Amino acid sequence: MSQLQIYKASAGSGKTFRLAIEYLKIALSDEWNYKNILAVTFTNKATTEMKERVIEELYKLSRNEKTAYLDVLKQEMSLAEPELVLRAQNALKHLLHDYSRFSISTIDSFFQRVIKAFNRELGINTAYQVDLEDDRILDEAVDQLLLSIDDDPDLLSWLKQFAEDKIREGGGWSLKGDILSLGRQIYNETFRQLSPVLNEKLSDKKFIRQYRKDLRRIIVNFEETLKQIGEQGLEIMRQGGVTVDDFKYKKAGAASAFDKLVNNAFAPSSRVLAVVEDVAAFHDKKASAHIVNIAHQLQPLLAQAVNFHTENIASYNTAKMIVDQLYTLGILVDLQQVVRELTREKGVILISESGNLLKQIIDDSDTPFIYEKTGVYYKHFMIDEFQDTSGLQWGNFRPLVGNSLAEDNLGMLVGDVKQAIYRWRNGDWNLLASEVMQAFPANGAEEKQLTQNWRSSGTVIRFNNRVFQVVPQLMQTHFSGQIQEAGLNDELFGDAILRIYNEGLQEIGQQSLKDAGYIRMRFLEKKKRGEEPTNEELVLDELIESIQAAQDQGVTARDMAILVRTKAEAKVIADRLLTEKASGDGHYNFNVLSGESLYVKNAASVAFLVSMLRLLKDPDDQLSMPFANYQYYATIAPVLNRLNKQVDWAVEQQDDAQLFMDFAPRYEPELNERFEDYRNQDNKLYEFLTGSYFNHQLAAQNLQEIIFSLSNRFCLFDFADELAYLQAFIDHVSNYMKNRSADLAGFLAWWDEAGQRKTIAVSEALDAIRIQTIHKAKGLEYACVFIPFCDWSLGISGQHAPMLWCRPLVEPFNQLELVPVKFGKSMGLSHFFREYFSEIRNNYIDNLNMLYVAFTRAKMALYTWSEYGKTLATTGDLLKMCVNMEEGVPFNGREDICSPLTEHFDEEKQLLELGALTASARKEKNENQSLSLRRFQFKDFSTYLRLRKNHENFFEAGDSTEQKINRGRLVHDVLSRIETADQLEKACEELVFKGMMTDAEAREMHAELQDLLADPEVTSWFDGSYRILNEHNIITGKGVKRPDRIMLSPDEVIVVDYKSGEFESMKYVKQVSDYMDALQQCGYPNVKGFIWYTKMNKRVVVK
């Protein structure tokens, strides 16, 4: 048996290098080993990087090139270099020829592979599809749920309570939107793992009503008891002729507690507790004997209230929190059932449901059987980013890893708790922090630290080492203070904050950079509202100056990143940089690449197209018409004028002989006219959008054709700056049409819900400053990192308070094994106090980790700006405390790799600086191998593609022109089916069988065509003396020709084209002449051509 290998890899410590080394060691031990290795990462990008690294290193090793891997592999595998090269050659050859067994994948890909193998056991349709958009199914489920309320009184009651709560909280009136937000809880792993017993209870409306009744009894008893005490106190005061103002502190004193008791607003204050301890605290020293007497009567009531409150507040708060959210459980259970029915009906599996389905397989099956069903056998497991793994995912992997360890194979986990910032995605850092060490007691586990930082310069490493020595201490002390203030034992929650960062010190990997690097921390005291200039303005000004200084030292724009917490911050910064770019002289590069700038919806051309699609869906849309008008004249028309392009307003073909010229002055509306006066008679756009072509002909086309037609007509394909956005929009339309119904209304609904978040892909080599959220920046690195608003809140705001799933342990609450509770202060005074303080601690860890991830992205320079106040409420306050109080935290003997902070802090300037920003070695520009899309190629097939309609007048009576044409087509169809005259009857019968004509019509046509074929001039054409080719293609250099009939003999070739009309035309002659030329080019010298007008039985010879 082997031990579980746990690698704790801090930022920049060569995690991917170590993963690749371990993979190569196994792959090179045996040339077929690659089939038995499963390496799991969490993103497609990380998967690609890992695969490329393995292939690249195998290739270099096979060519005996010197790489950083070579020496490590020689040492750890105890192999000579020639042997290593030979093994690399064999492993690379086998791996490339059997690439599908190269198993480095995302965790979801692996889960899907197993589920696919067990679809019959799981009762899943074999043709199921994986749906990546959970919210789309959820949206449909909410619609169905709302439609079912008439048949479900309990659901109606729950929804009413839900709506009332939202109104009390000051929320919006969108009930569906609120339910959607709540409904995402069904994807919470804790909720998913409800026991069947609990599910059964929740489905039992009678049980829910009784449970609610029991809890209401606790609530009412608590409130009524305190109310009675309050009324007794007020009655004593009334009978004594005194008021609150006659006692100490008046309305702010203990006497006011009786009013609060009556109004259910009582909480024992320090003044109330003082009165309970000593009645003298109730009144002033000079109080009359009457007041003192009343005080002595009131004091026992206050003591009774305090005692009752203390003994029962936990049960009261618990009951109230459960009752307040009990409807949530009812809604979620019903919603979960609707989602399951929808997915089963549609034959899809939600990507978020994969883990739960896999759990059913893993729990009920032996590991060998799983491998047998999937067709692969994995002996070695490597899991990357383990700190972001959820409990359910680890539960699914654990038996497989355990089996691997039992067979003396590799089980390897790599991660860093300090970089766990995805708890909101069910990530559980506790797994890596402590639980996996005890996961396999029979095997044991070996923990290894990757301590060297190969990413950052020495100054940055030393700074981060010291900051994350001090900050966790401050945070742990603050949290412990909150625990003690609540009257709880600090040991209940341990010192997780300190433990996570205890082993966080990093050694300097690149000795050549040990003295390089620059740190700049700027602090700004919080200003009063309205005080100018604002801190935000000061920060943005200094940010511009810092970017300019860095570029003066040779740092390119693409080596800079500005990290933010929210999209709102990103927009403020992007707007400022773009303003600077517009007003600058071009000396500095302020090009910006941000998530906001990459949204497809932000392109003017896309917004214009979407507004026209809305008008096609609803021509009376009073919002889309002025918006389309504004969009055209504000953004589209100016670009067209600059490009010297004109919109093709004509929707019908003009007479060739007519010269059309428009001498009217150009219509250029003012801003208000674009919205208000868009019906102006000179407004060609309004005329176009209300015309017959737009609302009838264009509306009849499919979605993609509409977009192509409009883009072509308005010259949008010539907008070079927006071509990438337009291309992406068209791609999204195409994907939508491929996976869903292609109706316009459905697409617009999808666009409003999901399409708004779509972005374009850009080249990594684009020379622009990156603006990213910290979450998006994880795993990346930049020479210079700027954090302009490094002062986000450390607390949990009421607006974003999470829903916690708690397990009641006390009667009668424990009748339900799991209940949802909205995070709030009252949780701290309930039976859920452990969950409350655990959430506070976890939130502090989340924020510390966010700070750690942001600070460790920097390679050479780190700039931060933080606003601070008088209390510890934000990361700005935390960093300021860190600088001020750093000297009180010991270095633990590691002064060599930790920079002192306080001595480098300038109190007057509120600035900390370490090191110096030195000139970067200017890199030669790599040759740009990216492709630039300058023109979108589009061909309107409607100009030459027509549907052949054989019997569109089948059900119409009379002898219309269309029917005559249709009859001609039928004659043509019969002749195309025969080679000799004796096949005529069978050809007519085939058309009767296909429903293209009746028996009577077939007999009539048979007789008519017999007469035609009996003509002496054509008898030889149908007597079998020629080899016949009916409707065969002739491929030429100018396209494909398709004559109706080609007859070949050794002496000649005859080509015939049938025409059913009565009028001769020179274009028919030209057509047959082209056929003859094509046949002559094929090597047939003697070619004759005929046009056969079948209605008149006339043949025209073509020369």
Which of the 8 DSSP states describes residue 982? G
Three-state SS letters, 991-1017: HHHCCCCCHHHHHHHHHHHHHHHCCHH
Burial class (CB in 10 A: 0-12, 13-18, 19+), 531: exposed
| Token pair of 857 as six digits | 């992205």
Residues present in the chain in total: 1103
Residue 11 annotated as lining a ligand binding site: yes
Burial class (CB in 10 A: 0-12, 13-18, 19+), 1053: buried
Which of the 8 DSSP states describes residue 223? H
Residue 12 annotated as lining a ligand binding site: yes
Distances (CA, A) of 240 to 233, 262, 293, 298: 11, 19, 9, 11
Residue 289 annotated as lining a ligand binding site: no
Q: What is the dihedral of CA 211, 214, 220, 223, to 10 degrees?
A: -90
The strand pairing partners of 804, in sequence order, are: 821
Where does 788-934 show beta strands of DSSP type E?
A: 803-806, 819-822, 858-868, 905-906, 911-915
Cα(496)–Cα(480) distance, integer angstroms: 11
Distances (CA, A) of 475 to 547, 734, 828, 838: 32, 51, 19, 14
Cα(751)–Cα(609) distance, integer angstroms: 12
**Residue found under tokens 């397990």:** 807
Closest by CA position to 183, among listed 337, 324, 322, 346? 337
Residue 645 annotated as lining a ligand binding site: no
Cα(30)–Cα(91) distance, integer angstroms: 8
Return left, alpha or beta for 895; rule: phi > 0 is left, psi -120 to 50 is alpha, else beta. alpha
The answer to whether residues 1089 and 1098 touch, using CB atoms and an 8 Å cutoff, is no
Cα(592)–Cα(574) distance, integer angstroms: 7
Residue 15 annotated as lining a ligand binding site: yes
Cα(594)–Cα(568) distance, integer angstroms: 12
**Residue found under tokens 């009655």:** 235
Residue 171 annotated as lining a ligand binding site: no
Three-state SS letters, 395-423: HHHHHHHHHHHHCCCCEEEEECHHHCCCH
Residue 9 annotated as lining a ligand binding site: yes
Report DSSP letters for 45-62, one per residue. Answer: HHHHHHHHHHHHHHHHHH
Report DSSP letters for 230-278, one per residue. Answer: HHHHHHHHHHTT--GGGSTTGGGSGGGHHHHHHTT-----HHHHHHHH-
Closest by CA position to 668, among listed 685, 644, 690? 685
Residue 777 annotated as lining a ligand binding site: no
Report DSSP letters for 906-933, one per residue. Answer: ETTTTEEEEE--PPPPPPPPPP--PPP-
Closest by CA position to 807, among listed 91, 318, 196, 454? 318
Burial class (CB in 10 A: 0-12, 13-18, 19+), 776: middle
Cα(876)–Cα(920) distance, integer angstroms: 30
The answer to whether residues 439 and 398 touch, using CB atoms and an 8 Å cutoff, is yes
Annotated binding site: 9-16
Annotated binding site for ATP: 9-16
